[in-house]
């Protein structure tokens, strides 16, 4: 069997490589090939030069890049609608079509209408939930999701919350929706006894409004601990200036390739994710897989993973709550050791790569 994977609109392998996530994102597809679920997988991307990455992936993953004639934003929009016609011969040979995210999901709907292929609508997060309510983008996102979910043979989402939202918002039959969590390669992300935990606190992710980093920095201003931030984003310079202004001990480390992250994580005593909302945060899952005690805010996407005081610690997003949580965890070695150990157990049980691959294989069997 063959699979067509539709990359999110305007997403390329060059983007994955720049973000340091290519190694992580390709793993499930290489496992689907290793298990002989598929003999060929086509990646339809939005990068004109993406063929240069073919040596970084399994040879049975065929990269289908953006034609140069469409290499502009308006051109990519046009391409997203006529891709099914341009690549008709390739897609016709495939048993299944899968979306990587909801953005650009209209391409999958067109393929379903024209070629009647089995469609797996996969989303790691709901596009509409990450756009400003009642904005033009939110309306486009909601319209796309509704059409995509109505036409899909099966839907895969990364959280129970997203499943409930789809059922309520789009009136989709619950039997059609599978919760398949984001995966972690627990053979790579694991505790490393030979590495000393000689650093205080780490945050990994985008530096954006959603991540609530300003409140985290404020919480640290009167504490003796050092925060290292790995990632980039639109608020980076503003928060650098703010850190200096209030005297918070913060180091901005820039982006980090996912392949180097396990060693980095193992150097820290505490991982923090102070977000205002989340989908199913991979950085949190990876930190928990490494056995780090993790502090997260009690919001959607985080509280589905962390069981308070069992495998992590939940606080409210405000400065006072974050500060209290940091003090409790940094001063209680017995508690942090316990929740760190339990964190890894939960990741192995529910989020390991092997488990998620098997769950996705079962989906293809259901709709064959």
Q: 119 by DSSP, 3-state: which?
A: strand
Query: In terms of domains, do 334 and 356 share one?
Result: no
- Determine, yes or no, domain membership for 188: no
289's tokens: 């897989």
CA–CA separation, 167 vs 178, rounded Å?
A: 12
CA–CA separation, 198 vs 203, rounded Å?
A: 16
CA–CA separation, 90 vs 64, rounded Å?
A: 10
Polymer length in residues for the chain: 368
Query: In terms of domains, do 90 and 161 share one?
Result: yes
329's tokens: 């965890």
Query: In terms of domains, do 141 and 8 share one?
Result: yes
CA–CA separation, 125 vs 209, rounded Å?
A: 17
Rounded CA Rg of the chain: 21
- Determine, yes or no, domain membership for 76: yes
Query: In terms of domains, do 280 and 293 share one?
Result: yes
Name the DSSP class of 184. B
Give the CATH number for residue 217.
Answer: 3.40.50.2000
- Determine, yes or no, domain membership for 194: no
Query: In terms of domains, do 94 and 139 share one?
Result: yes
- Determine, yes or no, domain membership for 275: yes
- Determine, yes or no, domain membership for 234: yes
91 neighbors 84 (Cβ within 8 angstroms): yes
- Determine, yes or no, domain membership for 192: no
CA–CA separation, 164 vs 160, rounded Å?
A: 6
Of 237, 217, 234, which is closest to residue 226 (Cα–Cα)?
217
- Determine, yes or no, domain membership for 189: no
Q: 97 by DSSP, 3-state: which?
A: strand
Owning domain of residue 211: 199-350
74's tokens: 């308006």
Of 180, 225, 255, 246, which is closest to residue 330 (Cα–Cα)?
225
Query: In terms of domains, do 128 and 241 share one?
Result: no
Please tell me the predicted confidence (pLDDT) of residue 38.
98
Question: Looking at the 3D structure of the chain, how many domains does it have?
Answer: 2
Query: In terms of domains, do 168 and 244 share one?
Result: no
Of 199, 200, 194, 148, which is closest to residue 170 (Cα–Cα)?
148
Q: What is the pLDDT of residues 248-281, one digit of tens each?
A: 999 999 999 999 999 999 999 999 999 999 989 9
- Determine, yes or no, domain membership for 229: yes
**C-alpha separations of 204 from 159, 273, 302 in Å:** 20, 8, 14
Please tell me the predicted confidence (pLDDT) of residue 197.
94
CA–CA separation, 137 vs 130, rounded Å?
A: 10
Tens of pLDDT along the chain (368 residues) come to 999 999 999 999 999 999 999 999 999 999 999 999 999 999 999 999 999 999 999 999 999 999 999 999 999 999 999 999 999 999 999 999 999 999 999 999 999 999 999 999 999 999 999 998 889 999 999 999 999 999 999 999 999 999 999 999 999 999 999 999 999 999 999 999 999 999 999 999 999 999 999 999 999 998 999 999 999 999 999 999 999 999 999 999 999 999 999 999 999 999 999 999 998 999 999 999 999 999 999 999 999 999 999 999 999 999 999 999 999 999 999 999 999 999 999 999 999 999 999 999 999 998 98
Query: In terms of domains, do 217 and 248 share one?
Result: yes
Please tell me the predicted confidence (pLDDT) of residue 134.
87
Of 278, 107, 264, which is closest to residue 195 (Cα–Cα)?
264
Query: In terms of domains, do 230 and 110 share one?
Result: no
Query: In terms of domains, do 29 and 175 share one?
Result: yes
CA–CA separation, 357 vs 262, rounded Å?
A: 21
Return the number of other C-beta atoms located less than 10 Å from residue 208's C-beta. Answer: 16
271's tokens: 């991982």
CA–CA separation, 90 vs 117, rounded Å?
A: 12
Q: What is the pLDDT of residues 69-117, one digit of tens each?
A: 999 999 999 999 999 999 999 999 999 999 999 999 999 999 999 999 9
CA–CA separation, 70 vs 90, rounded Å?
A: 19
Per DSSP, what are the bridge partners of residue 228? 202, 251
Query: In terms of domains, do 23 and 165 share one?
Result: yes
* Phi, psi values for residue 181, rounded to 5°: -65, 160
Query: In terms of domains, do 175 and 275 share one?
Result: no
| Buried/exposed 41-59: b ≥16 CB within 10 Å, e otherwise | bbbbbbbeebeebeeebee
Of 198, 195, 207, 294, which is closest to residue 252 (Cα–Cα)?
207
N- to C-terminal Cα separation, the chain: 10
């Amino acid at each position: 069997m063959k699979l067509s994977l539709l990359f999110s609109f305007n997403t390329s392998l060059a983007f994955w490589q720049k973000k340091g996530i290519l190694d992580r994102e390709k793993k499930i597809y290489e496992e689907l090939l290793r298990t002989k679920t598929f003999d060929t997988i086509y990646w339809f991307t939005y990068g004109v030069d993406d063929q240069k990455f073919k040596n970084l992936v399994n040879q049975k993953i065929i990269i289908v890049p953006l034609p140069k004639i469409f290499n502009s934003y308006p051109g990519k929009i046009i391409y997203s609608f006529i891709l099914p016609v341009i690549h008709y011969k390739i897609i016709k040979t495939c048993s299944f079509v899968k979306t990587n995210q909801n953005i650009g999901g209209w391409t999958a709907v067109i393929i379903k209408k024209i070629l009647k292929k089995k469609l797996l609508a996969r989303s790691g997060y709901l596009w509409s939930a990450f756009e400003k309510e009642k904005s033009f983008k939110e309306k486009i996102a909601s319209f796309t999701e509704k059409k995509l979910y109505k036409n899909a043979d099966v839907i895969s989402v990364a959280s129970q919350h997203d499943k409930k939202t789809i059922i309520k918002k789009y009136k989709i039959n619950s039997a059609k929706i599978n919760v398949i969590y984001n995966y972690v390669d627990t053979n790579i992300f694991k505790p490393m006894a030979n590495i000393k935990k000689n650093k205080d606190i780490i945050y990994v992710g985008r530096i954006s409004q959603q991540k609530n980093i300003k409140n985290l920095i404020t919480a640290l201003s009167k504490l003796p601990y050092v925060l290292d931030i790995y990632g980039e984003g639109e608020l980076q310079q503003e928060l650098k200036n703010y850190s200096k202004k209030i005297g918070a001990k913060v180091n901005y480390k820039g982006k980090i390739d996912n392949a180097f992250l396990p060693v980095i994580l193992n150097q820290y005593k505490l991982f923090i994710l102070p977000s205002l909302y989340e989908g199913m945060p991979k950085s949190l899952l990876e930190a928990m897989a490494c056995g780090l005690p993790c502090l997260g805010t009690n919001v959607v996407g985080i509280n589905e993973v962390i069981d308070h005081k069992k495998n992590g610690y939940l606080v409210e997003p405000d400065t006072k709550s974050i500060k209290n949580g940091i003090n409790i965890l940094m001063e209680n070695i017995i508690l942090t050791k316990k929740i760190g150990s339990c964190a890894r157990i939960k990741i192995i049980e529910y989020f390991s790569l092997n488990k998620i691959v098997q769950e996705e294989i079962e989906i293809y069997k259901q709709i064959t």
